[in-house]
Structure 1
Amino acid sequence: MPGWCSEYSCSNERTVENRNHGITFHKFPKDKDVRKKWEVALRREGFTASDYSVVCSEHFKQADFDRTGQIVRLRDGVIPSLFSFPFHLQKLVKGRATSTSRSAEESLSVASKDSPEMAASHPQPQPNDDHGYALPASPTALKTKINEHLARVESLERDKKKREKRVKTTVKGLLGDLRENNLINEELSEKLAFYSDLKMDFAAKQGHEYIQDCREFSLTLHLHGPKAYKYIKHNAFSGFPTCSRRGRWLRSVDAKPGLNKIMLDMLERRCQGDPAKYESVSLMLDAMSIKKHVQYNPHTESMSVTMATGKRRATCFNNIELEMLMHAYGEFQHVFRKKSNTAAAAKERETAWENIASRVNACNPAGEKRTWQQLKMKYKNIVQTAKRKKADSSKTGGGPAPPPLTQAEELALSHNTGRPVAEGIPGGSSSSECTPQDTNSDGAICLITVCLTMDGHASNVSMCNQLGCELKGDPREPLQTSFPHPVIGEKVFVMMDAWHMLKLACNMLQAYSPIATTTGQIHWRYINRLHDLQKDGLHAANTITDKHVYF
């Protein structure tokens, strides 16, 4: 068992005499990482500690020991740091030469020249290069440096007060400051000019909430000019809303499926202020894939259900299919009226709907095959329509008579006898005569749609044709790109999105090349050749890149 210290130049041996002198010996730690640090700290080439290697206490600091118990122990994670290495193993410690240390040296030299008698009687200490942040030893130099920093602080405070005074008057002055710093463009300046007469203290908190003008101004500025918003918040006015607060405001926007009511209300207010500018609008339509989704709004305590699945809609049911559906449902009515919710009962109901689907498909073998899910949804729709017609027939107050029940709807009501049926006037309705004051904002036309913009999908083209356009007629005849407004009778023009139409044309040319025209054939290889010429270095400026060819 070795009893010598593992340090390079240490000759301490584990003896009773050394123990009486207070020298203790400590084994290398079992943790591999800490053990490796100990081996590196010893700086012995090729040295690997064994389970019996030790280091004496003379190579540790006093703070590294735990002497609270009877046995002297090392604290966790300590590393030996006190060594007497030879010169070639010592680290060269070079002091930091910073601007502060250099200025301190210069101030010391100036002070010594100013008072040679004092320097002779009281020798000045040498500057310490180890710490660049050390204060000058001369009181005169120290006072000079403090005065310089105080003057700098006062100058910065004056500049800050000037900026606050300039921008805290009105938003108009703030916009001028932003334009001088090239932080906003003319378009954004025109949008924010609406708030020019507002005082800058409008952004101050009123209790726990910001006023409405502050919300609109801050959201508009951050949306169109985030750099300008950051400049105002950090340099001019610190009372602007934080990022988390803006996020809560944006989450409170009514974003239910359908038309955005907030946008319609805003356009209505703008139209009342300037009808000539905001009366005519363009409606842009877009489509997206929607899945079944149920969302709860805790603020309004309402549920929003999306039933669209993105699947192709089934064609209309004929009378024979509807009649067979109703009669088949009547035969399996005892299965559907069971109140059991077990897996066996659910399987029995599914089997019944499959039998109904096979009967409906058998009566129309040449038609579309219906799934049992489609038939189940169709039956529910028929029942709801029949109940609504029956409720409308019981309403009072005049008005046109509701349409009569169809044979399928009468059969659906007969299947649901004995169940609670909603009759009478629905909640929220009134039996009094409708007056102009009762009409909602949809009745008072304020905005006139003059153009519809959409992608060139087949569904959009079909919708435009049903509205009154002629977009799939004889290609030799001019297209009918407008339809009459359903209320005022004015023309509403249809405009397909140009970029989407170019993409469709590119896809068509690539898929069906060559395309015959009255002037010749159009080949996709022509575009490939133009792209190859561009890659060969011709620089024809045809703006064709790889993404136009390899897509």
Structure 2
Amino acid sequence: MPVSCAAFGCKSRYTVEAREKGITFHRFPKSNPVLLDKWRLAIRRATSTGQLWMPSRYQRLCSLHFEESCFDTTGQTKRLRDDVIPSIFSFPSELQLAMAPASVRLKMASPSAPSEPTPGEAVNGTPKVETAPANKEASISSQVQLQDHIYFIPDVETLKRKLRASEDSRVQKEKELRNAKDREKRLRQTCPSIYQELGKKNLLTPHLQEMLQSYRDIPLELFMKPECEYSVQQRLFALTLQLYNPGAYKYLRNTIKLPLPSARKLRQWLKTYCDKPGLNYLVLEALLKKKKENPPLYTRACLVVDTMSIQQHITFDSQQNELVGFVNLGKGADASGSQEVASEALVLMLVGIAGHWKAPIAYFFIKSLTPEAQKQLVLHALHELSDNGFEIVAVSMERHQRNEEMCTLLGCQFTDPTELQTYFSLPDSEHKHYVIFDVSNEQQMIRDMLKDSGTIQSPDGTIMWQYIDNLMSLRKTAAMHTGSNQLSSHVAAFSQLPKITLVVNTLSNTVAQALAMLQELKCEPFAGCTATVCFIQIIDRLSDILTSKSTRVKGDKGPVNRTNLQHKLDVLQETKEYLLTLTTSDNACLYKCPSAQCILGLLVNITSFMALLPTLLLDQEYVLTHRFSPDHLKIFLNGIQKADGSDNKPTAMNLKRAIRRLLSQCGVWNLYNPQQNEISFDHITEDDRVPCSFRQHLASPFQQNSIMLPDHYYSSRVLNFMLQNSEVYITGWVVRKAFSQLACDKCRWALVTGDTPQDFRNAYHLLQSKDGGDFVPSTGTIKTVLTAEKELHHMLNYQTFKHSTFPLVLEHRVLSLLGSADIFDLKEHITLTELGIENHHFQLLRLITSLYCALRQAYVVKVTQRIQYQAHVTKILTKPIHVFNENI
């Protein structure tokens, strides 16, 4: 804060120029009230009301207003003497006339008086300096005249203007206070009426009312526009309302004019970092980097959506110091503001269509997720991916009621299977996102439907489950009579078939071939199974086309390319027409039967692929349809469930740890240095990569990166050898600490060696110079640490010592054992640094030993406490028992 002089007309300020001129600034004597009054009278300042001016603690008076005799310059600083009063001022002429004694004023007013310059006039161009009155009477008279003088008291007009200004300010403040009270009253009426208004508009569902019950007593600041950032409660309320009822959210934002955030702001709240729930922007940044390097492989992808049931269990994450298990939608609405325990986890994974990669981009901890809320989360993810330049051609999921309702809310139409709309588009976008259901799950549902209904009518005849059941029974009978000479005709016919392996999926081509051959052998239980064989073959061929995995396979299981595109499109069209002709035993269309909606998923997949495959092949050489399967995410989720070896539901912490391991294995997130997102071991080959607990069919998009996992077992030969050299690892830590305390470069180089080891497995490169050279601890340093470790264990096992003297005793024992042997290879540097019996050799021994002792201090305390506890328990249990004789 700048310091200025408080005297009238003085322009001195505490600057460099003032210090060069020798001007000093002094405080007012606040501790001496009598002297302070004298200073106030000498300065002759008054307030606007005529009262004598009172200085504040920050105001100063410069040295120009004191005589030279008032200062004590004997010390290093220039100080005021005790009881000195400022006397050098330059006041206006009228003030000097008013402050002069009565006799002086009369003389100055008399015309016969000799012409003398008045106190305020200049003499030879120099203003005359007035001296303050010295006696007490003059001081009192000066104070009275000071208060009544026109210079210090404003005129009446000025006072009137100030009064009017203060009155206007008071009226304005009263008006603002009244308006604030009215706004508060209206807001108090608005809070309960919001639910009533939404109820009248039919915008609140019972489920949403239950979820918003905790916001029934919403504080007023929730409806006030935030100055800088929304609070946690505001974020939770806005996200909950927007996810579960965007119509009500839009009504409150546009009609009621509540300051609710925009969709882009909500999407920012859903983002997260490292392994926390939400849209992981670390994965997105890594994918963007890959897309920039190779756009054809990383631009087009499929979004896989799946949910997993988790235990309602709260776990404390010690690494990030937080509770895991609450409902958590991202960084903007974390568990700090939610008290609901999550029961499900929604996971979103991105799978490359042209490239061989996949990556989990988001997961959320949720409870009782509705189709509307799931739709909003998927839309937020699609918007974020679209904004970053990714082309999401399809959204893959399992087909159940919630997912079907979500697709309907997105814009798909599944009501009429003959006129399906299996795609949707984002607002203000013409790009189509096709919906694809799990093919294997649909095939299983068809098998269950056929088993329950028993028969289905087709153009080729009646499709019966009894044929498949007879085949399974015949197989069991043949297995029981193996080696017997007396076989029935049916079993004999079955034994003539080639070796057939009946897989779990009974609607496979293997079963169709077995039924066809048994029919050719004229087995009575299989007579007339032509329609069943045809049905099984059509379903199996469709499954092969929609789940092609390898580019080396030919036929239906091979990839779709420009050569076979038309053929496979014809097969898909024929299969679609065949499924639409299936009827029940009552001649009702199968797709219209509520219990036979299983074929709806196949019809949706056929429609999506028929529109999608020609578009994809415009830019790609081939398409593997398995890239659109939810199996990629199922494998990951099943690995989490089987990680602990039990059949219980995994906890939220299990899922978080799995995501953490996967991100670390991909190199997206460094567990040891979060600021460094991508690291790798240059000396580890591809075969020695850190293994992942959940090995995927598709490789990670970040294969070249790898990272150590703290809770993982390594099978790498190189890493195992490195981790066995614990003494090198500990010595490296000691050397790093010693470098910060050593000033001698010769001693620094003595602690490390720059020679490259003959075998990398025998040492761990812990030190690195500025120019990039690798170093390891020297042999002498390792020997000193090993000696200290040996003596430490000897002292703990066989001796008693005090904690205060433990480091000194350990240094003494190490010095006694190693002595003056030149283990650091200092050579003539030892003699050059000798000072009595001391030299740098012994100083290095003491320094390394003391640093190692500090490293092991916690272990020493723990062992000592355990020994003391054991001795105390032994003393209690071995306390002698005194037997007293009653006769004594």
TM-score range normalised by the length of the shorter chain: under 0.3
Greater RCO (CA < 8 Å, at least 6 residues apart): 2
TM-score by length of 2: 0.17
Larger Rg: 2
